[in-house]
Structure 1
């Protein structure tokens, strides 16, 4: 048995006995990372490839030109998330989903009241050929928008759980006697959604193919606090970390559950703990080389975009600034996956760096 295989076996055994995290372990089959982002003034999809297995050293593919340019909907995509196929699609399929929003054609207020209720979807069997996008409606007409869609494989359900942020009218508008701000629905008598909007909440639906989705439901409602930009990372069989932006306080924080996606979530470091303020679009990804290490990107939306952070303790609010010397500036809310040697070579051969 090779030493690397022996060490991985020891980690798995120890994890079983002591309940340690195992899915954030290093993966010897992965040799690099593919990053998928949009740029602030260019709502298209851009690919960045890592310099080998350095999780925070990226170079633009295709000489910095967009890989995917949407033509449907608003013809502008934000917050792209690349999703590894799972279940029967593991290693055979990848999806990219994103927000249907071209802010140059609207306003922030209008985009939250009567914004797109659909998400962009591209799919590929090789990370190279992505075909034509499709626009799939996932939210009800009484919602204001669908922002920052992302997905995670739910092994219990055997489907992808797709989640996004949406906004509804304040229930206080419908019942003036209420003195609390609770998310509700825009009335059918208010088709233009002119009512006072309530706080953002996280919604979700299930899909097996990113073509048909179950009816949307509420995943996280923290009213009166607005929350957006959910990112989920599996830590173990039934353990997850989730990262959210508190839109009200404009900071990003982390919560953890060891009882599943719909279990009990607590915030490491205490109920007021946060990672950073003045940031959004958190995206966390496990390190290919260091077992238990997690890389986190935070979008400094009022400054130079994404900056990297790292942690080796997901039971604490213990994030440190990573070396930014080789991390590109100007990247906005996106996502990162690990890639194999064959995938890395194919991406480099197709678009260079």
Structure 2
């Protein structure tokens, strides 16, 4: 009888542990983003499996192009999942929606973040970062404003010359006016910001073609809203990289990115943000995955998504 009781006790505790164990969720898009949000899960941060046979969890409904590219999802202090995305190639807006479980979503909204700028040409790759100290969310993205930052190199790519802009909110109902967040003196895009103790770490893409960069760099700030300074040397190799997203496992930083000219994902790891090791040969991703974001979830939440 004691053996039976012990076996049941162990099974119960294993079940509880499985429910509490953290797993990782990758939110991404495929192709041009026309079919919406895709999700994949992992238990080690290296091997990822697409959920629901890699079908869409949410189809885009806003903006002229009705796209859902570059999805960024975070777990808010209110317990909801909050997502922003690139909703169009040329609109002055970004998409926003929230969900309690990544399955059932609120009505999609079009946030017209650059409508006040007549010369704004786009609003791309938005992200959200939460500042626990001020209980504030910052939404930020890349935009080209015609003539705002003259740059002879920008003519190489249809005159696009991005800088990073932002708004803040505490409730996703009211927002502060749009402001410039980051101008390193050159064309930049795809910023993602991670709280790290008393500082904030920004990973971003250097978009310059002359001389050719197309790599990822890091900048730092003491406040979420900047200023971001001390721009690093490239942390990626001799290939074109974009769309960074990060994961912390123990004392290791793991940075994923889209090696888009090579048509596959890449990854690098570091313990000090200075010395980086390429681990691309260790990762396994869903076919056709394009860039997005990673976050932690529980096993119970994963089961609902399945």
Relative to the length of structure 2, the TM-score reads: 0.81
Aligned: 1:265 with 2:229: yes
Counterpart among 80, 93, 101 of residue 126 in structure 1:
101
Q: Which has the higher contact order (CA 8 A, sep 6+)?
A: 1
Counterpart among 4, 23, 33 of residue 32 in structure 1:
23
- Does the CA contact (< 8 Å) of 2:220 and 2:231 recur in 1? no
Aligned: 1:313 with 2:275: no
Aligned: 1:199 with 2:123: no
Counterpart among 145, 148, 161 of residue 168 in structure 1:
145
In the other structure, the counterpart of 2:44 is: 54
Matches within 5 A, 1:317-328: 317-324=275-282, 326-328=284-286
Relative to the length of structure 1, the TM-score reads: 0.71
In the other structure, the counterpart of 2:85 is: 98
Question: What secondary structure sits across from 1:332 in the alignment?
Answer: coil
**CA drift at 1:93:** 0.7
**CA drift at 1:298:** 1.0
In the other structure, the counterpart of 2:216 is: 253
In the other structure, the counterpart of 2:203 is: 243
Matches within 5 A, 1:178-189: 181=151
> Residues 164 and 264 of structure 1: is their aligned pair in 2 closer, same or farther, counting only changes over 3 Å?
closer
- Does the CA contact (< 8 Å) of 1:37 and 1:332 recur in 2? yes
**CA drift at 1:155:** 3.0
- Does the CA contact (< 8 Å) of 1:284 and 1:295 recur in 2? yes
In the other structure, the counterpart of 2:12 is: none
- Does the CA contact (< 8 Å) of 2:181 and 2:227 recur in 1? no
CA RMSD of aligned residues (A): 2.4
Aligned: 1:331 with 2:289: yes
Aligned structure 1 segments of 4 or more residues deviating by more than 6 angstroms: none
> Residues 329 and 317 of structure 1: is their aligned pair in 2 closer, same or farther, counting only changes over 3 Å?
farther
> Residues 285 and 319 of structure 1: is their aligned pair in 2 closer, same or farther, counting only changes over 3 Å?
same
In the other structure, the counterpart of 1:341 is: 299
In the other structure, the counterpart of 1:117 is: 92
- Does the CA contact (< 8 Å) of 1:200 and 1:226 recur in 2? yes
Aligned: 1:157 with 2:149: no
Question: What secondary structure sits across from 1:199 in the alignment?
Answer: coil
**CA drift at 1:258:** 5.9
- Does the CA contact (< 8 Å) of 1:36 and 1:335 recur in 2? yes
Tell me, in whole angstroms, the C-alpha distance in 1 between the residues paired with 2:221 and 2:179. 22
Tell me, in whole angstroms, the C-alpha distance in 2 between the residues paired with 1:42 and 1:168. 24
> Residues 317 and 325 of structure 1: is their aligned pair in 2 closer, same or farther, counting only changes over 3 Å?
closer
- Does the CA contact (< 8 Å) of 2:24 and 2:45 recur in 1? yes
Question: What secondary structure sits across from 1:273 in the alignment?
Answer: coil
- Does the CA contact (< 8 Å) of 1:161 and 1:205 recur in 2? yes
> Residues 64 and 169 of structure 1: is their aligned pair in 2 closer, same or farther, counting only changes over 3 Å?
same
**CA drift at 1:207:** 1.3
In the other structure, the counterpart of 2:189 is: 228
**CA drift at 1:292:** 1.4
**CA drift at 1:119:** 1.1
Q: Deviations over 1:273-298 (max 9, x none)?
A: 342341111111212xxx21112111
- Does the CA contact (< 8 Å) of 1:33 and 1:49 recur in 2? yes
Q: Deviations over 1:293-350 (max 9, x none)?
A: 1121111122324223222222x142322444532242111001011232123223xx
Tell me, in whole angstroms, the C-alpha distance in 1 between the residues paired with 2:213 and 2:105. 35
> Residues 159 and 46 of structure 1: is their aligned pair in 2 closer, same or farther, counting only changes over 3 Å?
same
